[in-house]
Amino acid sequence: MAWPVERGAVLSSAQLVSEWDASGEGEKEVRDILNTLTIDEGRAVVMARPDEFQRVFGAEGKPLNWESEPWYGTKYMVERFSEDFVSKVRTT
């Protein structure tokens, strides 16, 4: 009951396997969405313990500007992809 399910599936929904898309419309919609993803419309998320994150991303000596999520205080950082990376992705 942690997520919305049909009344008849409350007891079995976490483990019952059923046909996802018998009509084929759902798969078409997912494929349409995947075909529109671009480097300009996407976001990558990296999660790690603070010490590991600092070791990997702080190795260049630049300070990491952590922000705090307002409800739970979870630390996060937003950083744009480098222009070099974006241009490489666009050419492939």
The answer to whether 70 touches 20, Cβ cutoff 8 Å, is no
Instruction: Read off φ and ψ for residue 86, nearest 5 degrees.
Output: -60, -45
For residue 55, count other CB atoms closer than 10 A to its CB.
Answer: 11
pTM for the full predicted model: 0.48
Print pLDDT tens along the chain (92 aa).
567 777 887 777 777 666 778 788 888 888 898 888 888 877 887 777 777 777 777 666 566 677 888 998 887 878 888 899 888 988 87
Instruction: Provide the strand spans (E) within the chain.
Output: 67-68, 75-76
Helix (H, G, I), strand (E, B) or coil at 61: coil
End-to-end CA distance of the chain: 44
Fill in the amino acid letter for 36: T
The pLDDT of residue 1 is 52
Per-domain boundaries in the chain: 45-92
The pLDDT of residue 70 is 92
From CA 22, how far away is CA 26, in angstroms rounded?
9
The pLDDT of residue 84 is 92
Place of tokens 């190795």: 59
